[in-house]
A and B are shown apart, each in its own frame.
Chain A
Amino acid sequence: MREPRVRECVSAGVREPASRGAALRARPPLRSALPHFRTHARSRAGAAKLALALLAALGAAACARAEAEPARELKVCADPNNLPFSNAKGEGFENRIAELVARDLGARVRYTWWAQRRGFFRNTLKAGTCDVVIGMPATLELAAATRPYYRSTYVFLTRRDRGLDLRSFDDPRLKTLRIGVQIVGDDGFNTPPVHALTRRGVVGNLRGYTVYGDYSRPNPPAAIVEAVADGEVDVAIVWGPLAGWFAKQAKAPLSIVPVRPQIDPPFLPFVFDISMGTRRGDTLTTRLNDIIVRRRGEIERILDDYGVPRAEGRRR
C-alpha cells in the first residue's frame, strides 16, 4: 500500500480492469500498512513517502466512510467442491490460507467459484474476476507463481492391516498388486505415477480414478482413497494432500509413504512445490511473497491440521 489511490473510493467494490493488478481495491488498510511505513521511515525519502501515503490514506478512508462501504477484498479463484483444498463452505486448507492472507492484508475474502479443470485459469484469473489462486505448482506457466509455501509428494496409500510397506516404484510386487492411480487427460497427459509404472512395464493391473470424478457428489477426487479403504485396490498412488486428508477419515487405518524416487530420471517428478498464482505483473505477488515468509508458522499449522504430507528438500 505504498501508493494508495484516493480515487479508488469511487470505484469501491467495483471491478476494475485486471491488468493493473492490485487485488485490493478501495480503502487502504492503515493497520497493515503501518509496519511498512515504519521501515521506510528510516530514510528521508521514506519519511516523505510516509507523509504522502498517510495523507492519501486518510483521504481515502474518509471517502470510503462517506460511502459506508468497507469493501476491501481479496478476490480468490477457487473450486467450490474440492476438499481438502477448497469448498464453498470454506472447509478446505486453501480456504484457511486465503483467510490468513486476507487477515494479513486487512481484507475479507471474496471467492470466484469455478471447477478446477481445463479452462480454470482462463475463466477466473485471466478473465479478471479474481486475483489469486491459492494453490498451483510453482512451475506452472499459466500464471505468475509466488514463492512456494509447501512441497508435497505422491504417496503410496495402503491399508495398515495389509502390512505392505511399499516404498519404491521398483518394488517387484507392483507387477501383481491391484494399483489405483489418478488419471487425467489422455495421449501424453497423465499423473506421474501412471508414467512411472508404464516405464516399468506395470500395465494391466492398474485401475484408474479420474481426478474429475462425479462433480455432483462431494469431493469428487476422493474415490481413490475410499477404494483403498474398501479393499477395491491393494495400493493407490495418490497426490499427498488428498491422501493425507481423506486417510484421516477413512473407515480403516491407512498408511501413507512418500514414493521413491522423488524424481524418476531423466525428469519425471513426483514432488511438487506449491505456490500461489497471480496474474503476471500484478504487484500482489510481492505482497503475497512477504506474507508467505512472515506467516510461515501459521501456514505450516494449517497444513498439519489437514494432514498434508510434506516432502523433504528445500523449497525453491
Chain B
Amino acid sequence: MVHLMRYARAQTGRSFYSRPECCRVPPPRSRSQANGVEGSTLLRLVDSVHPTPSGSFAGRARPLARLTAAALLVLLAACDGGAKENRSQGTAPRTGGVGTPAPGSVSDTTEDGQWTMPAKNYASTRYSRLTQITAQNVAGLKLAFTFSTGVNRGHEAAPLVVNNTMYIVTPFPNLLYALDLTKPGAPMKWKYDPHPASAAQGVACCDVVNRGAAYADGKIVYNTLDGHTVAVDAETGREVWKARVADYNRGESFTMAPLVVKNHVLVGNSGGEFGVRGWVTALDLATGRLAWRAYSTGPDSEVLIGPGFRAQYPQYQGKDLGVTSWPPDAWKIGGGTMWGWISYDPELNLIYHGTANPGPWNAEQRPGDNLWTAGIFARDPDTGQARWFYQWSPHDLWDYDGINEQVLVDLPIGGQTRKVLLRAERDGYVYVLDRTNGQVLSADPFIDVTSTLGIDLKTGRPRENVAKHPELGKVMRDICPAAPGAKDWQPTAWSPRTGLLYIPHQNLCMDFEGVEASYIAGTPYVGANVKMYAGHGGNRGAFTAWDPIHGRIAWEIKEFFPVWSGSVATAGDVVFYGTMDGWFKAVDARNGRLLWQFKCGSGIIGQPITYRGPDGKQYVAVLAGIGGWAGAIVAGDLDPRDSTAALGFVNAVKDLPQATTKGGMLYVFSL
C-alpha cells in the first residue's frame, strides 16, 4: 500500500520551484548524507588531494585555495549574464597547439546553425551557440510549421537539419522524411521507406522507437528495427547501401542513433533480456561493410581488449574477464547490449560508449561482476580496441542499463583543468570521469538513492545496500531509483555559459516482489512483480540543473510525469525540454524560471533541437508522439489496471491516458 499512498501524493505533487538568484550556493543536500555520501564533491576532492598512500590524486595535490578559486571563477563566469562567449567558456578552455579543432570537439566554438547528429556535436553537449532566441524574448516564440509523421508510436528521435533540409526518422516502420526548409511550410522533398520486416515488432525485444539519424558525407545514416543500418542520399532520398547488422530472429533489435566518426558508422544492438550478447560495431561509411565488432562479454580477443588497454582499477586487470567474471558459458548470452549513445573526442581519438545490463539470468545465477556489462568503454574508433573501462553496476541487480550519454567537457577540478566525461547515470549519481583514463573523480546523487549507499572513489565500486537485494518470494520496498533508473536514455544538455548539466529525468522508486506466473513461447515462468511509483517528493519527474564541479543541484523543476524527452541548451541562455503530457517548455538556463510553453498534440519524448533557417532566423524543433517505455501505456494501449505491465512502469503512469493521446507530429517554432 505504500506505493498507493505515494501515488496519491503524486497527484497533488505538481509544483515548481527554482532559485531566484543566480548562482547562490545552495546548502549541501541532506539526502547525500542519508545516502552515505558525505558532503559535496568539493569536500571530497579536497579530502582526496591530501597526500594519501594509495590515492591517485596524491601526486597532483593542490591546495584547497586553488581549487576553490577555480570553482569560483566558473561560478562568476556563469553569473555574468551578458558575458561574452569566450569568457563564459571558463569550463571549456582552449587547448593550444592542436590546430583547428575538429567539428564538435570539446574546444570547438564554431556554429554553423545546423544539427547534423542527435547530440549536436561529438562532445554531446546538445548546446547551440545561436543567440537570436534569448531568455528575454523567448516568450514571443510562435509556431512556424508542423508536420505529421503518420506514425502513432513513441517518437524519441532528434530531427536533423543539414543544407536547409530537415530529416525526420519515425519509429517502426522507420520512415525517413526530408523537408525543404527553403519553401513556406517546409513541404516534403521526399520520403524513404526501408520496409523493415514486420515480424521484427514481435520477434525482437523491446519497443519500436528510434532515436534518430546522423548525417555524414552526403548521406543520412540510421538503423531500422529489423537490424539494418541504411545510408540514404541526403539530396535525393535514394538508398546508397543497406547493411544487415543485427538479427531480429535472435531477439536483437536496433533502435539507437548511429555516430559517424571519420569513415566509420558506429552502431550497437538492443535485446539483453532475450539472451542477446551485446556489441558495438563499426561499418564503413562508403559501403556499409563491417570494419570491426567489439563484444561486451567474452574473451579479450572478442571484446577487443589488447595491449593498449589500461585498467584504472584492479578489478579490470586480468585475462579474459569477460569470461571469468561469469559462471561457465553464461557470458555467451550475457547481455551488455549497446542501445544508447556514443561520444567522440577527436583530440584523444577516443570514442566512449556504455554497455547495458547483464542478462538473461537472474542475478543469483550469475555470481561475479559480469564484465563488461553495465559500464563504459573508451575505444579507438579506427580499430575498436579498448583503452579503458569503468563499471557503474558490477553484478547489476536492477536493470540499470549503463547506456546513457557521455558529455565531454574540460572542467577545473583539483586545481587543474581536467578532461572529463559527465554521466548522469541510471543508478542516480552524476559521475565525473577523467576521460583520458577512466578514473572516477566524483559521483554524487542527483536524486534519492536507496539501491546503493554511495560510490567508493578509491575502489571505483558502489557501496552495496544488501538490505535491498532482491530475493524470490520476498517483497523489497522502496528501491530507488526504479528499474528505468534516475535517468534513462533521455539525453542531457550542457551549457558552457552556465557550467550546468541539464538533466531530464524521472523520480521513481519500485517495489520488487513475489512470484507471478507469466508465459513466453509456451513456457510458464516466474516474473518479478515490479511496481513503480513516485519517489521522494511525490513528483514522478524532474528537470534538474546540475553543477558538476560542486556535485550539487543548482535548481530543479519538479514535473508531474517522468521527463522522458531530451533537452537542448542555447547561448541565449534558454533550455528546452518537453513533458509526457505534451508541454514543450523553455526555461531560463540560469535559474529554471519557466519562460514559455506550448501544448503539443501528444506527449513529448523526443529530442529538441535548434537551428538557423535559410531566412536567417533561429528555429526550435521537437517531435511529439507519446510512447517508449514510459509512455507504453498510451502507445501500446496497455491496461491501467495491470500495475505490472511494461515491466512495472504502467503503475507509475496510470493517469497518462487521461493526459495525452497518440500521434507523431513535428513542431517547429520561431520568434
Q: Which residues of A contact B (CB under 8 A)?
A: 79, 82, 85, 114-120, 122-123, 126-127, 135-137, 139-142, 182-192, 194-195, 197-199, 203-208, 210-216, 220-221, 239, 241-242, 266-269, 272
27 contacts between A and B (CB under 8 A): A116-B521, A117-B521, A118-B206, A118-B273, A123-B202, A135-B522, A140-B518, A142-B518, A186-B357, A186-B358, A186-B362, A186-B399, A187-B470, A187-B483, A187-B528, A188-B362, A188-B512, A189-B526, A190-B365, A198-B362, A204-B327, A210-B360, A213-B521, A215-B203, A221-B523, A267-B473, A269-B515
Interface pair A122/B365, CB less than 8 Å apart: no
Interface pair A126/B526, CB less than 8 Å apart: no
The 4 A-B pairs at the shortest CB distance, nearest first, are namely A188-B528, A186-B359, A210-B275, A216-B249
Contact with A along B16-56 (1 / 0, CB 8 A): 00000000000000000000000000000000000000000
- Give chain B interface residues in 179-205, CB to chain A under 8 Å: 199, 201-203, 205
Expressed in whole angstroms, the Cα–Cα distance for A139 and B524 within the complex equals: 10
Known: A185-B273, A185-B360, A242-B523. A117 touches B203 (CB 8 A): yes
Which among A82, A120, A122, A197 has the highest number of chain B CB atoms within 10 Å? A122
Which among A122, A183, A188, A199 has the highest number of chain B CB atoms within 10 Å? A188
Which among B365, B639, B642 has the highest number of chain A CB atoms within 10 Å? B365
Expressed in whole angstroms, the Cα–Cα distance for A221 and B637 within the complex equals: 29
Interface pair A188/B527, CB less than 8 Å apart: yes
Expressed in whole angstroms, the Cα–Cα distance for A186 and B357 within the complex equals: 9
Interface pair B522/A239, CB less than 8 Å apart: yes
Interface pair B525/A186, CB less than 8 Å apart: no
Residues from chain B with a CB closer than 8 A to the CB of A192 are 524-526
- B615 contacts chain A at the CB level, 8 A cutoff: no
Residues from chain A with a CB closer than 8 A to the CB of B329 are 207-208
Which among A137, A215, A216 has the highest number of chain B CB atoms within 10 Å? A215
Expressed in whole angstroms, the Cα–Cα distance for A204 and B523 within the complex equals: 23
Contact with A along B244-285 (1 / 0, CB 8 A): 000111110000000000000000000011110000000000
Expressed in whole angstroms, the Cα–Cα distance for A188 and B510 within the complex equals: 13
- B294 contacts chain A at the CB level, 8 A cutoff: no
Residues from chain B with a CB closer than 8 A to the CB of A136 are 519
- B72 contacts chain A at the CB level, 8 A cutoff: no
Expressed in whole angstroms, the Cα–Cα distance for A272 and B399 within the complex equals: 28
- B517 contacts chain A at the CB level, 8 A cutoff: yes
Interface pair A115/B360, CB less than 8 Å apart: no
From B365, B521, B642, contact of A142 by CB (8 A) = B642
Residues from chain A with a CB closer than 8 A to the CB of B517 are 137, 139-140, 269, 272
Known: A194-B365, A204-B328, A221-B522. A185 touches B359 (CB 8 A): yes
Residues from chain B with a CB closer than 8 A to the CB of A182 are 523, 525
Contact with A along B481-493 (1 / 0, CB 8 A): 0010000000000
Residues from chain B with a CB closer than 8 A to the CB of A204 are 327-328, 367
From A115, A186, A221, A267, contact of B273 by CB (8 A) = A186
Interface pair A239/B361, CB less than 8 Å apart: no
Expressed in whole angstroms, the Cα–Cα distance for A182 and B523 within the complex equals: 9
- B638 contacts chain A at the CB level, 8 A cutoff: yes
Residues from chain B with a CB closer than 8 A to the CB of A211 are 520-521, 523, 525
Residues from chain A with a CB closer than 8 A to the CB of B362 are 186-190, 194-195, 198
Q: How large is the interface on B (under 10, 10 to 19, 20 to 34, 35 or more residues)?
A: 35 or more
Interface pair A268/B250, CB less than 8 Å apart: no
- B333 contacts chain A at the CB level, 8 A cutoff: yes
Q: Which residues of B contact A (CB under 8 A)?
A: 199, 201-203, 205-206, 247-251, 272-275, 327-330, 333, 335, 357-365, 367, 397-399, 470, 472-473, 483, 512, 514-528, 530, 636-639, 642, 644
Interface pair B275/A212, CB less than 8 Å apart: yes
From A126, A137, A215, contact of B250 by CB (8 A) = A215
Interface pair A187/B398, CB less than 8 Å apart: yes
Residues from chain A with a CB closer than 8 A to the CB of B521 are 79, 82, 85, 115-117, 211-213, 220-221
Query: Can you add 13 more A-B contacts, CB < 8 Å, to A126-B639, A187-B363, A198-B365?
Result: A123-B202, A183-B333, A186-B361, A188-B362, A188-B470, A188-B472, A189-B273, A190-B361, A191-B526, A197-B365, A203-B367, A210-B275, A272-B517
Residues from chain B with a CB closer than 8 A to the CB of A117 are 202-203, 520-521
Expressed in whole angstroms, the Cα–Cα distance for A148 and B202 within the complex equals: 27
Expressed in whole angstroms, the Cα–Cα distance for A310 and B275 within the complex equals: 30
Expressed in whole angstroms, the Cα–Cα distance for A214 and B273 within the complex equals: 14
In the complex, what's the smallest C-beta–C-beta distance from B207 to chain A, in angstroms?
A: 9
In the complex, what's the smallest C-beta–C-beta distance from B463 to chain A, in angstroms?
A: 21
Interface pair B360/A208, CB less than 8 Å apart: yes
Interface pair A206/B365, CB less than 8 Å apart: yes
Interface pair B523/A189, CB less than 8 Å apart: no
In the complex, what's the smallest C-beta–C-beta distance from A16 to chain B, in angstroms?
A: 17
Expressed in whole angstroms, the Cα–Cα distance for A208 and B366 within the complex equals: 11
From B205, B272, B473, contact of A118 by CB (8 A) = B205
In the complex, what's the smallest C-beta–C-beta distance from A309 to chain B, in angstroms?
A: 14
Expressed in whole angstroms, the Cα–Cα distance for A290 and B570 within the complex equals: 67
Residues from chain A with a CB closer than 8 A to the CB of B328 are 204-205, 207
Expressed in whole angstroms, the Cα–Cα distance for A184 and B273 within the complex equals: 7
Interface pair B202/A184, CB less than 8 Å apart: no
Chain A residue nearest in CB terms to B205: A118
Chain B residue nearest in CB terms to A272: B524
Chain B residue nearest in CB terms to A194: B365
In the complex, what's the smallest C-beta–C-beta distance from B108 to chain A, in angstroms?
A: 40
Residues from chain A with a CB closer than 8 A to the CB of B361 are 183, 186, 190, 194, 208
Interface pair B522/A114, CB less than 8 Å apart: no
Expressed in whole angstroms, the Cα–Cα distance for A104 and B587 within the complex equals: 65
Expressed in whole angstroms, the Cα–Cα distance for A224 and B247 within the complex equals: 21
Interface pair A208/B522, CB less than 8 Å apart: no
From A122, A210, A214, contact of B249 by CB (8 A) = A214
Chain A residue nearest in CB terms to B332: A208
Interface pair A212/B530, CB less than 8 Å apart: no
Expressed in whole angstroms, the Cα–Cα distance for A187 and B514 within the complex equals: 13
Which among A120, A189, A198, A210 has the highest number of chain B CB atoms within 10 Å? A189
Residues from chain A with a CB closer than 8 A to the CB of B201 are 119, 123
Interface pair A189/B202, CB less than 8 Å apart: no
Chain A residue nearest in CB terms to B199: A115
Interface pair A119/B202, CB less than 8 Å apart: yes
Chain A residue nearest in CB terms to B522: A85
Chain B residue nearest in CB terms to A137: B517
In the complex, what's the smallest C-beta–C-beta distance from B632 to chain A, in angstroms?
A: 9
Expressed in whole angstroms, the Cα–Cα distance for A184 and B251 within the complex equals: 12
Expressed in whole angstroms, the Cα–Cα distance for A118 and B274 within the complex equals: 10
Residues from chain A with a CB closer than 8 A to the CB of B483 are 187
Expressed in whole angstroms, the Cα–Cα distance for A266 and B516 within the complex equals: 13
Known: A140-B518, A188-B512. A195 touches B205 (CB 8 A): no
Expressed in whole angstroms, the Cα–Cα distance for A137 and B516 within the complex equals: 10
Expressed in whole angstroms, the Cα–Cα distance for A197 and B362 within the complex equals: 12
Interface pair B274/A210, CB less than 8 Å apart: yes
Interface pair A186/B360, CB less than 8 Å apart: yes
Expressed in whole angstroms, the Cα–Cα distance for A135 and B520 within the complex equals: 11
Expressed in whole angstroms, the Cα–Cα distance for A115 and B638 within the complex equals: 18
Interface pair B525/A189, CB less than 8 Å apart: yes
Interface pair A120/B522, CB less than 8 Å apart: no
Interface pair B399/A212, CB less than 8 Å apart: no
Interface pair A127/B470, CB less than 8 Å apart: no
